[in-house]
Structure 1
Amino acid sequence: MTSPLSLLLLALATLVTLASAASPTPYRLLPPPLDTPWTSKVGTNPWPEHPRPLLRREAWRSLNGIWTYQSAAGAAVTDATSTPPLPLEREVLVPSCIESGISGVMAMGITHMWFGRNFTVPPGWVEGARRVLMHFEAVDYEATVFVNGAWVGFNRGGYARFSVDVTERLVSGGNEVHVFVFDPTDHMRIPQGKQTNRPSHIFYTPCTGIWQTVWLESVPETYITGLDVTADMHGNLDITVHSNTNQSSPVSVTLHPPSGASTPLLTALSNNPTRHTLTTPRLWTPSTPTLYNLTISLGSDQVTSYTAFRTISQGPIHGIPRPLLNNEPVFLFGPLDQGFWPDGIYTPPTVDAMVYDLELIKSLGMNTVRKHIKIEPDLFYAACDRLGLLVLQDMPSMRRAWDDGSRPSAAEQAEFERQLRLMVEEHRNYPSIAAWVLYNEGWGQGPAGDAPEVGLTDKVRAMDRSRLVLAVTGWNDHGAGDFHDNHHYAEAQCGTPWSSLPSTPYDGRRIAVQGEFGGIGLRPADENLWPLPDAVATINQTYELHNAGPASYHYRAHQLLSQLREQVVRYACSGAIYTQTSDVEGEVNGLVTYDRRAVRVDKEAWKKDVEALYQAASARA
């Protein structure tokens, strides 16, 4: 006969078993192969900052933090009847890449997955005719969103933001959101940049999942959906306030200068372009990054934003095409910035970590950053605006043409163009962005005879006439765009009458820049090294590896910058991009190590050499 105590113990054990089966595995930060000074600061409330500095309301709430997660290998969501398996089996941190230690998953090769979390809506957010929007800043690659079991939206593209109106699906009390994610990475030709499930040398660990901020926002029935703002050196402020209706409603715009009283500028109509001219504006430059705040009101809706007065163009200086900032020649110099992190992969551990890289670039005297085939969170571009860094923004590339010898299909090309259009539309209000970069070294461009960049250049210019277009950086150049761009390691070939294949000699019709050069490497101490064996094995593929120690490395860096200066003096060189900001996995050629703990370059010597470049360019002008 079973004793009452035994029955009680059996019942308790059963309850514990049921409870554990129903509860997801708790989140914990997994030790990444290499951490950074910010890894331990991530916590469970990551990226609490408002994610869109150019369109900000007060009524918002972050949904970042602990979500639940489950792999759904081989699954597919095809219609509104699909439902997630509940409960999901483990907790995960959002935003993050599931391949990262910060995510708490740190798994590779997963293509299908579910994410979910509970959320509440603050009182008053749905009173009257107000709407509640759910925003996703970036999900890689396809996202299908359900609220309280009902389908509310779908998005394709790993870098573009999207929003869904969840008002009609909300219930009183608690709500649930679930997101089904599909990320093909290497299995389809998509805009993916340098992500791969087979990391090696210049291709790195991929990012899958909800890798940027998720948040809620309350808006009135008629509300501002977006702004187009351009301000030039002559004080012309062109602004279009877009609303969620086709009606033209009164809009008021107030300008807040860096100092002095705010100025009510104008009353305009929504969905219509309007110009106001400001006398004697303070201009934005890398040395004086002056920003003007804006307040825009449409009925009961009010948003804040900012802009800067500056003009980016090109023109001949002594017969040589030059990039111009406010009608003055500007020599563009800065690093190739890949935006990879050992603890977060694509997602920087914190905003402070992301800004550290930019402050390091600025501290070395540089005025430019080439954002290399990745699109960052909006706070990255806001920091460049604030610090005074000109951005050459790459479009994330499709797979390299020579991987399989084929050209993109019509559907693949159309999707690439759609996502290119989104990149321009979403970021064209950031004053720091100086040029759009369409293709990198022929990746996804097609065989050498193809020239899709010719038509794309015209389309991008039609969308944004306030910036330059770098149609092709590296090679497969067919004369399109504002730049002739050479890649060569380690020495530059900037505006020179010679080149090394597959680049071409400078053609004299466009601005001459060195899109990539340098890349010299120095193996860091083991504690600063990405320790995965496959990555360590490719260190010797670094463009030029210095095994003799720092003295040799510093001398070579000075020599390369001196050679570049001579090309500025002698030829048509108007800018150059040095590879690169930080080490990335098996590449050990950064200004700083991958963990951001050891600055590799001699900072004072580097600043002197960079200043010598600017002086040489100024003398030519």
Structure 2
Amino acid sequence: MYSTFTYLALLLSSSLARSISIPHRNTARTTAHYAQLDPPLNTNWTDDVGTNPWPEYPRPRLRRDQWQTLNGIWQYQNASSPNDVYNPPFGQDLAQEVLIPSCLESGLSGIQGTNVIYSWFKTNLTVPSDWSGQDVILNFGAVDYEATVFVNGKNATFHRGGYFEFSVDITPFLDSSGSNELLIFVHDPTDLNGYVIPIGKQRLIPSAHIFYTPCSGIWQSVWIEPAPANYVTQLDLTADMHGQVNVTVHSSYGNGTAVNVTVVDGNDVVGSGTGVSDQAFQFNVSDPKLWSPNSPTLYNVTVTMGDDSFQSYTGFRTISKGTVDGVVRPLVNGKFDFIFGTLDQGYWPDGIYTPPSLDAMVYDLKFLKDLGFNMVRKHIKIEPALWYRACDEMGLLVIQDMPSLRPLENVLPDDGQQQEFGRQLDLLVNQLKSYTCIFTWVVYNEGWGQITTYYPEFDLTARVQQLDPTRLVDATSGWHDHGAGDFSDNHHYANPQCGTPFYSIDSTPYDPKRIGMQGEFGGLGNNVSIDHLWNNQQAINSINQTYEIDTDIDAWNHRSHLLLSELQDQISRYACSVAVWTQTVDVEGEVNGLMTYDRRLKRVDEDQWKKDIKGLYDAASNRTNSTSS
């Protein structure tokens, strides 16, 4: 059932609403200037953010040469109710300046708000003169949660889903010779009563140790770019270990326009194919260099459709499963190697969901890769597109979670909310399925929002497999496992129980028909001084809820070594194929990261961890070197 705001926004999105000028409320106002606020903890990148954040082109898989960032200082003011969308503040200044992209709850935003439910955002844009004769596309990386977009007083689009990119052709609303007002109404209910929506770990009131500060507003990049009237809206592009390139080019007209795709290695064209838009087609590249964690080779790709042309890229690899010496295993390019990574939540003390910069975001991934991890589990969050590009470049496999519904409160979705969860699961897969690094999709985490009176994970798994038959699916990571999907995924703290003939009362026994996986383990805690902690008393009070507290770094590393040794034994003896260590960095009241929340203190004894991680791979290699797919 739609919220009042949603109903009003849908009305505004109609063609009738687009033709009506809504009266202005002209009110004299002095806009408060932007100033970065002090968060409870900062990072080494906080002071370098400035007022022109994220200058990089935001969408590396569909990169047009001409574009203009809209990131920077916008105006913001709080709104009080859903009815405010009927009375937009056209032609007037808003209360405060705000940094875009950012979470309104973050210090970087300059707002650092709480209970931010309804918001207005405003900026002005001027179309470059050399874009004359082309359409202008407005792009958003992500807005949490519902956005109604007005251009020069007209409703241009409505979007729901706090983690997903969206675009709109704003040409009909523009004054191409002058300044244009962009005004956005955002509704973000998070976990308000009556709402069961994908929110991951966000809570209006952080609590229970494992739920954190929410993120509201425009938290990923915004930009405009010129395109012909019939332009590419989405590119689906994958390439397998045999050299087959699979392409679907989606167009704004949807009418089967001729398409050409060229694959380039350095300066050499190694393959090309032609087809028509909005229909799948294939072609082959002879003897491609394969992408893997040990050799992350990528090829540049040029796509041309009519008057539209842009750059992309791909890697050649195949993800599958097969029986290897009697054990069901995940295979990369037909070969089993042990898959080991961290639970990566993607939170930042200065930016909450928004990393302070590309360098900061890549720092975490490089840290993991340097230690020897070959995978990262992106935990119930979706990152900016450049994060996935970095994983492609480094050779980090990604286990991608669907952001979970409201967890742990016996609040389950009704039929309409479950349908919306499924719709947004489709958005997740379609948005990310062409990144080479994606290894596995996770539908449910630990039963959060998972209906158990029937088993929707079977239909949802089939839905994901239809959208993307080239990846594996982990239907239920931990807890309510009824046999769906490709993995038998156990969560257990602190010790692993991975593909073993023993399990705990709060988990399920290993199913030998599926891949043995330790979806979470570890979680060893080590308290630190206040200068490395999220300086919030409630969070500090919850530190002792950590699964285990080790009183010094030596003890923490010793315990880590023992747990990794147990995991190595389970790889050697039993059916363990994949494992996920909790976690990359501390988050708010959790102190169980390989690094502290500010990324300034590494807990790991790097030499020891590198040896232990290599020992896991060696154990899997020694177990078998043959495959059968």
TM-score norm. by structure 1 comes to 0.94
Deviation by residue 1:409-465 (Cα, 9 ceiling, x = unmatched): 000000100000000001000010001000000000024x43110110001000000
Q: Whole-Å Cα distance in 2 between the matches of residues 407 and 531 of structure 1?
A: 33
Asked if residue 244 in structure 1 is aligned to residue 256 in structure 2, the reply is no
Note if contact 1:391-1:435 (Cα within 8 Å) is conserved in structure 2.
Answer: yes
Q: Whole-Å Cα distance in 2 between the matches of residues 270 and 505 of structure 1?
A: 47
The alignment partner of 1:328 has SS state of coil
Match of 1:369 among 373, 376, 380: 376
Match of 1:583 among 582, 586, 593: 586
Q: Whole-Å Cα distance in 1 between the matches of residues 33 and 614 of structure 2?
A: 52
- Which residue is equivalent to 2:532? 528
Q: How much does 1:613 deviate?
A: 0.2
Q: Whole-Å Cα distance in 2 between the matches of residues 502 and 399 of structure 1?
A: 20
Count of aligned pairs between the two proteins: 594
Asked if residue 555 in structure 1 is aligned to residue 558 in structure 2, the reply is yes
- Which residue is equivalent to 1:13? none
Q: 2:249 is matched by which residue type in structure 1?
A: V
Q: Whole-Å Cα distance in 1 between the matches of residues 83 and 145 of structure 2?
A: 14
The alignment partner of 2:83 has SS state of coil
Q: 2:47 is matched by which residue type in structure 1?
A: S
Q: Whole-Å Cα distance in 2 between the matches of residues 34 and 592 of structure 1?
A: 14
Match of 2:157 among 119, 143, 153: 153
The alignment partner of 1:262 has SS state of strand
Q: Whole-Å Cα distance in 2 between the matches of residues 470 and 85 of structure 1?
A: 49
Q: 1:423 is matched by which residue type in structure 2?
A: L
Q: Whole-Å Cα distance in 1 between the matches of residues 426 and 496 of structure 2?
A: 32
The alignment partner of 1:356 has SS state of helix
Q: How much does 1:220 deviate?
A: 0.8
- Which residue is equivalent to 1:170? 174
Note if contact 1:77-1:144 (Cα within 8 Å) is conserved in structure 2.
Answer: no
The alignment partner of 2:435 has SS state of coil
Deviation by residue 1:488-521 (Cα, 9 ceiling, x = unmatched): 0000000011111221110111000000000001
The alignment partner of 1:124 has SS state of helix
The alignment partner of 1:191 has SS state of coil
Q: 1:610 is matched by which residue type in structure 2?
A: I
Note if contact 1:335-1:580 (Cα within 8 Å) is conserved in structure 2.
Answer: yes
Q: How much does 1:83 deviate?
A: 4.4
Note if contact 2:85-2:185 (Cα within 8 Å) is conserved in structure 1.
Answer: no
Q: Whole-Å Cα distance in 2 between the matches of residues 539 and 96 of structure 1?
A: 27
Going from structure 1 to structure 2, the CA distance change for 1:83 and 1:27 (only over 3 Å counts) comes to closer
Q: How much does 1:241 deviate?
A: 1.7
Deviation by residue 1:92-113 (Cα, 9 ceiling, x = unmatched): 0000000000000001112001
The alignment partner of 2:434 has SS state of coil
Q: How much does 1:479 deviate?
A: 0.2
Match of 2:112 among 93, 106, 110: 106
Q: 1:101 is matched by which residue type in structure 2?
A: G
Q: Whole-Å Cα distance in 1 between the matches of residues 180 and 254 of structure 2?
A: 31
Match of 1:256 among 261, 264, 269: 264
Q: Whole-Å Cα distance in 1 between the matches of residues 145 and 234 of structure 2?
A: 24
Going from structure 1 to structure 2, the CA distance change for 1:153 and 1:77 (only over 3 Å counts) comes to farther
- Which residue is equivalent to 2:622? 619
Q: How much does 1:224 deviate?
A: 1.5
Going from structure 1 to structure 2, the CA distance change for 1:156 and 1:256 (only over 3 Å counts) comes to same
The alignment partner of 2:359 has SS state of helix
Note if contact 2:196-2:411 (Cα within 8 Å) is conserved in structure 1.
Answer: no
- Which residue is equivalent to 1:115? 121
Q: Whole-Å Cα distance in 2 between the matches of residues 69 and 524 of structure 1?
A: 37
Asked if residue 216 in structure 1 is aligned to residue 224 in structure 2, the reply is yes
The alignment partner of 1:185 has SS state of coil
Q: 1:514 is matched by which residue type in structure 2?
A: Q
The alignment partner of 1:134 has SS state of strand
- Which residue is equivalent to 2:141? 137
Deviation by residue 1:209-229 (Cα, 9 ceiling, x = unmatched): 000001101001221122111
Note if contact 1:83-1:149 (Cα within 8 Å) is conserved in structure 2.
Answer: no
Q: Whole-Å Cα distance in 2 between the matches of residues 270 and 85 of structure 1?
A: 40
Q: Whole-Å Cα distance in 2 between the matches of residues 76 and 160 of structure 1?
A: 25
Match of 1:336 among 343, 356, 373: 343
Q: How does 1:15-414 map to 2 (within 5 A)?
A: 22-77=29-84, 82-83=88-89, 86-125=92-131, 127-128=132-133, 130-171=134-175, 172-187=177-192, 188-200=195-207, 201-257=209-265, 259=266, 261-263=268-270, 265-400=272-407, 402-403=408-409, 405-414=410-419
Q: 1:591 is matched by which residue type in structure 2?
A: L
Note if contact 2:271-2:284 (Cα within 8 Å) is conserved in structure 1.
Answer: no
Answer with 40-49 or 70-79: which moved more.
70-79
Structure 2: give runs of 5+ residues left out of the alignment: 1-26, 625-629
- Which residue is equivalent to 1:513? 517
- Which residue is equivalent to 1:596? 599
Q: How much does 1:264 deviate?
A: 5.5
Q: How much does 1:262 deviate?
A: 2.1
Q: 1:250 is matched by which residue type in structure 2?
A: A
Answer with 208-217 or 496-505: which moved more.
496-505
Q: How much does 1:590 deviate?
A: 0.3
Q: Whole-Å Cα distance in 2 between the matches of residues 496 and 455 of structure 1?
A: 28
- Which residue is equivalent to 1:5? none
The alignment partner of 2:129 has SS state of coil
Q: How much does 1:605 deviate?
A: 0.2
Answer with 449-458 or 429-438: which moved more.
449-458
Note if contact 2:64-2:311 (Cα within 8 Å) is conserved in structure 1.
Answer: yes
Q: How much does 1:277 deviate?
A: 1.3
The alignment partner of 2:581 has SS state of strand
Note if contact 1:73-1:110 (Cα within 8 Å) is conserved in structure 2.
Answer: no
Q: Whole-Å Cα distance in 1 between the matches of residues 435 and 620 of structure 2?
A: 26
TM-score norm. by structure 2 comes to 0.93
The alignment partner of 2:38 has SS state of coil
Structure 1: give runs of 5+ residues left out of the alignment: 1-19
- Which residue is equivalent to 1:428? 433
Match of 2:451 among 446, 450, 459: 446
Q: Whole-Å Cα distance in 1 between the matches of residues 268 and 188 of structure 2?
A: 50
Match of 1:546 among 543, 547, 550: 550
Q: Whole-Å Cα distance in 1 between the matches of residues 366 and 254 of structure 2?
A: 43
Q: 1:165 is matched by which residue type in structure 2?
A: D
Q: Whole-Å Cα distance in 2 between the matches of residues 390 and 76 of structure 1?
A: 45
- Which residue is equivalent to 1:416? 421
Q: 2:415 is matched by which residue type in structure 1?
A: A
Q: How much does 1:561 deviate?
A: 0.2
Going from structure 1 to structure 2, the CA distance change for 1:464 and 1:191 (only over 3 Å counts) comes to same
Aligned-pair RMSD on alpha carbons?
1.3
Deviation by residue 1:354-408 (Cα, 9 ceiling, x = unmatched): 10000000011000000000000000000000000000000000012x40x3431
Q: Whole-Å Cα distance in 2 between the matches of residues 304 and 76 of structure 1?
A: 42
- Which residue is equivalent to 1:10? none
Going from structure 1 to structure 2, the CA distance change for 1:77 and 1:66 (only over 3 Å counts) comes to same
Q: 1:110 is matched by which residue type in structure 2?
A: V
Q: Whole-Å Cα distance in 1 between the matches of residues 598 and 237 of structure 2?
A: 37
Note if contact 2:270-2:286 (Cα within 8 Å) is conserved in structure 1.
Answer: no
Q: 1:231 is matched by which residue type in structure 2?
A: A
Q: 2:241 is matched by which residue type in structure 1?
A: M
- Which residue is equivalent to 1:498? 502
Q: Whole-Å Cα distance in 2 between the matches of residues 228 and 181 of structure 1?
A: 29
